[in-house]
């Protein structure tokens, strides 16, 4: 790569039931897919146990892929306050796990992610999925949450690249 830096980025789309994750490499303007998937927790398990499951899985991902940075989608306010609280707790684990290892964590609103990947902030999930597939050719996406996580990682890569050009 000419004069650029290669960064491994972990993107996370938090959820208590399913957390999507995606790992990419950003080399200048080039993006490459490494892996993606979903972490599922048992809906019948107590909340603390589900959070431990999520934390353990994220810790394993961090140890395996050794990302240089991480990015997490921000929580939107749900109609159901209980659902919003549970989502917020899962998001807290998604922020904590990489921060615990010393990795800087970016946070991005869903509208910003959609705008960065699709070009419009009110894009549908299917549009995000399609653009992620275009930006990362040949990728086999593990599901909608994984597609969203890859979109978050792509957004972070764009923001890091822009910040480097400014400074």
* Residue 19: closest CA among 64, 48, 61, 81: 61
Does the annotation list 49 as a binding residue? no
CA 5 to each of CA 8, 41, 116, 139, 155: distance values in angstroms, whole numbers, following the listed order: 10, 36, 21, 23, 17
Phi and psi at residue 116, to the nearest 5°: -65, -35
Asked whether the beta carbons of 160 and 166 are under 8 A apart, the reply is no
Active site residue 55: no
Does the annotation list 60 as a binding residue? no
Q: Which of 55, 68, 73, 124 does the annotation list as catalytic?
A: 73
Does the annotation list 145 as a binding residue? yes
CA 3 to centroid of chain Cα atoms:
27
Q: What angle do helix axes 144-166 and 125-135 make, rounded to 10 degrees?
A: 60
Cα(117)–Cα(128) distance, integer angstroms: 7
How many residues are recorded in the chain? 167
Q: Which residues are the active-site residues? A: 13, 73, 145
Give the annotated binding-site residues: 13, 73, 145
Give the annotated binding-site residues for Mg(2+): 13, 73, 145
């Amino acid at each position: 790569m000419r004069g650029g830096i290669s960064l491994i980025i972990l993107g996370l789309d938090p959820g208590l039931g399913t957390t999507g994750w995606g790992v990419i490499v950003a080399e200048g303007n080039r993006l490459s897919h490494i892996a993606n998937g979903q972490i599922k927790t048992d809906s019948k398990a107590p909340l603390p146990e589900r959070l431990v499951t999520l934390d353990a899985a994220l810790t394993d991902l961090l140890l395996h892929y050794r990302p240089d940075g991480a990015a997490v989608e921000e929580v939107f306010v749900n109609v159901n306050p209980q659902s919003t609280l549970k989502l917020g707790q899962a998001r807290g684990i998604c922020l904590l796990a990489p921060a615990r290892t010393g990795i800087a964590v970016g946070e991005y609103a869903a509208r910003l992610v959609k705008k960065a990947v699709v070009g419009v902030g009110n894009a549908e999930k299917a549009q995000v999925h399609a653009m992620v597939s275009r930006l990362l050719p040949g990728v086999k996406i593990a599901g909608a949450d994984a597609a969203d996580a890859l979109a978050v990682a792509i957004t972070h890569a764009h923001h890091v690249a822009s910040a480097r050009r400014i400074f």
